[in-house]
Structure 1
Amino acid sequence: MANTIVSNLWLQKRRPYWSRLEALLAAVNSGGIKQLSRAEMREMTLLYRQVASDLSVLRRDGTAQTYATHVNQLLARAHHIIYAGRKTSAIHLLRYLRDEYPEIFRRNLAYVGFSVGITLACCALGAIITSTHIDFMRHFLGPQMIATMERHEMWTHSVVSVAPTATSAIMTNNLSVSFVTFAGGITFGLLTLFSLYNNGMMLGVIGAACHHYGMSVALWSFVAPHGSLELPAIIFAGAAGLRLAHGMVFPGALRWKDAVAQSGMEAARLVSGTIPMLVVAGCLEGFFSPSSAPVWLKFTVGGMLFAFLNAWLFGAGKQSADSSSTV
């Protein structure tokens, strides 16, 4: 019992807040959102944040999974009510990104890790096959890209002259790739896995091909600025697709319909944070990455952005969660 995270005393203290949230949800279900006063809506919002902190504690205790399932269902119902009628504004979006999204990311870290593993494994596979069978890259990349490498030219030089148009096309393409990777979860994860495989293989093959032609510095100095955000965004989209697929394949104690709805909501929230990442990455890829800026500056920008990304995802949101755990 000494190693148990959730004690009976802790449960006794927290259950009244769960019951109160459940009572407010029941009132909404019976008579609509207008049943609640403004004070009760504020109370529900506060309870939502407190119960979310409780859920993070319950999930760390293997003996409290029954409570975790119950609390998770409460949060899913409350989230729909709280955010369905909330007016979207720049301030709300910034607060969401600052306070809530990092917590969502950390809750789904296992899926992110799996997505990272698949991408890296496929990247290594593509690099190994290309290094041992050099003709493989010609079939994978196509004759036009190979021709530019043989001239020791980067295929990205033309982007600079049409940067505004290229930036829009890059953003659209990256958002499309991320959406397909995420939505592929509805195919029980098969399309998500294929998308992660394709992106990993492409990165590995291009990396090995540029190394073969002595263009590694040119390639990675181009990739570093925007890739520090673009590559993680696609990996997070893959994690969201895997989260959706997990709910479809392993519904657990929930009905299949409820499990899909719950996992779909969580997956959508996980992928939502990739949108600003891809917007920034698209601007960098259109204007800065293919520019004649010094190599050291490109790597510095990429490193700083990646450091900021990690500080945001692993550091932000904790203080607000801690403060909301007390009543």
Structure 2
Amino acid sequence: MDLDAFSAVREPSWARLDELSRRRGLDGAEADELVRLYQAVATDLSTIRSSAPDPDAVARLSQLLARARARIAGTHEPAWRDVRRFVVLSLPAALYRLRWWTVGVMVACIAVATVAGWWVATNPEALAAMGTPSERQQYVDEAFASYYDPGAGFAAVVWTNNAWVAALCVALGISGVGTLFVLANNAVNVGATGGMMAAHDSLGVFFQLITPHGLLELTSIFVAGAAGLRLFWSWVDPQGRPRARALAEEGRALITVVIGLAGALLLSGVVEGFVTGSTMPWWLKIVIGAIALAAFWAYTIVLGRRAVAEGETGDLEEDAAGYAVAIAA
């Protein structure tokens, strides 16, 4: 199909639909015309997608149809139904679809952190790179533990920082390399710190302080890394879909993941801000962290499996995404 010729013939209808969808008031004849043009332009969009999928033309007509649909049916008002759908269906489905990617990222990061920790703990030159002997001793004896200062302000700072790291993992996923760099850098830093603590016979203190909040916090970073890599893979292997559509669908679903991880990281921030540095017994702190992690995985697996079985992916519904249009009778 010659897209330029097709566009030239159909342009008057597109312009008229744009005009009617922007008007404040329509009489009966104009309202009927708006519906007829909406159906005709929806057909045009379908034709372009199947015969000459030009991204600019598809985007233009999708926006035009979205505006006209809102004019015909009224704008969508967020409601508690939407919140419930997000919490019960969209988010768990998106997390469930990432479960094996998450496990893979987790295993890789733990391996990198373990190697980094072993290298620092057993190699004098690597240990020396962590600071002078006095600086390392001061960090082990005071700075590491004093960092976990209980309070709402500390929890807020931790949450903001971790949410930013998670968002970076997803946002840089389009390149693949960016996500891998963030994950590797985070794993090396955690492992090297543990190695330095081990070299000063304080590995137990390291795990006591990092485990309560770290179980959920690090899992959230692993999920974010998995989301970023899944986004990269969606255009490497679109699974029979046009690459632009595959990227759009996965991107929208993974934005759902980012929003959900903000909640998970808020919970881990609360644990870090009020539990890790508190005077509670260490065993109780770790139990609290383990419960938070178990709740996350139960939510992902139980609700996620059910949502995916019902056809949910974490993406928008087809009409909201612009892949299906309402047909007036």
Q: Same fold (TM over 0.5)?
A: yes
Q: Spell out the pairing of 1:4-83 with structure 2 (5 A cutoff).
A: 32-34=68-70
Determine if the alignment matches structure 1 residue 153 to structure 2 residue 142: yes
Shift of 1:119: 1.0
Contact 2:95 2:304 in 1 (8 A): no
Shift of 1:156: 3.5
- For 1:184, the equivalent position in structure 2 comes to 172
| Residue identity matched to 1:127 | G
Superposed CA offset, 1:148-173 (max 9, x none): 245x3352325426x23222221111
Superposed CA offset, 1:87-125 (max 9, x none): 165x74354223332221222223223322321221122
1:130 corresponds to which of 96, 99, 120: 120
Q: Which moved more, 1:188-197 or 1:271-280?
A: 271-280
Shift of 1:234: 0.6
Determine if the alignment matches structure 1 residue 199 to structure 2 residue 186: yes
Q: Spell out the pairing of 1:1-327 with structure 2 (5 A cutoff).
A: 32-34=68-70, 85-87=76-78, 92-93=82-83, 95-140=85-130, 146-150=136-140, 152-157=141-146, 159-160=148-149, 163-186=151-174, 188-319=175-306
Where does the alignment leave 5 or more consecutive residues of structure 1 unmatched? 1-22, 39-83
Contact 2:93 2:307 in 1 (8 A): no
Shift of 1:178: 1.0
Superposed CA offset, 1:224-263 (max 9, x none): 2211211111111101110111123334543333232222
Provide the aligned C-alpha RMSD in A.
3.2
| Residue identity matched to 1:249 | V
| Residue identity matched to 1:165 | G
Change in Cα spacing, 1:134 to 1:259, as seen in structure 2 (3 Å) is: same
Change in Cα spacing, 1:244 to 1:143, as seen in structure 2 (3 Å) is: farther
Separation in 1 of the partners of 2:79 and 2:136? 47
Contact 2:166 2:220 in 1 (8 A): yes
Change in Cα spacing, 1:137 to 1:36, as seen in structure 2 (3 Å) is: farther
Separation in 2 of the partners of 1:144 and 1:189? 40
Superposed CA offset, 1:247-291 (max 9, x none): 233345433332322221222223322110111111221222112
Identity of aligned residues (%): 24
Where does the alignment leave 5 or more consecutive residues of structure 2 unmatched? 1-38, 46-61, 313-329
Change in Cα spacing, 1:319 to 1:180, as seen in structure 2 (3 Å) is: closer
Change in Cα spacing, 1:137 to 1:286, as seen in structure 2 (3 Å) is: farther
Separation in 1 of the partners of 2:79 and 2:130? 44
Superposed CA offset, 1:64-85 (max 9, x none): xxxxxxxxxxxxxxxxxxxx94
Contact 1:112 1:235 in 2 (8 A): yes
Shift of 1:140: 4.6
TM-score by length of 1: 0.66
Separation in 2 of the partners of 1:201 and 1:98? 35
Secondary structure of the residue aligned to 2:267 is helix
Shift of 1:321: 6.0
Contact 2:96 2:304 in 1 (8 A): no
Secondary structure of the residue aligned to 1:316 is helix
Superposed CA offset, 1:192-247 (max 9, x none): 00111011112211222222222222222221221121111111110111011112
Contact 1:149 1:213 in 2 (8 A): no
Separation in 2 of the partners of 1:192 and 1:205? 20
Secondary structure of the residue aligned to 1:254 is coil
Change in Cα spacing, 1:94 to 1:133, as seen in structure 2 (3 Å) is: farther
Separation in 1 of the partners of 2:298 and 2:86? 16
- For 1:42, the equivalent position in structure 2 comes to none
Separation in 2 of the partners of 1:96 and 1:256? 26
Secondary structure of the residue aligned to 1:293 is coil
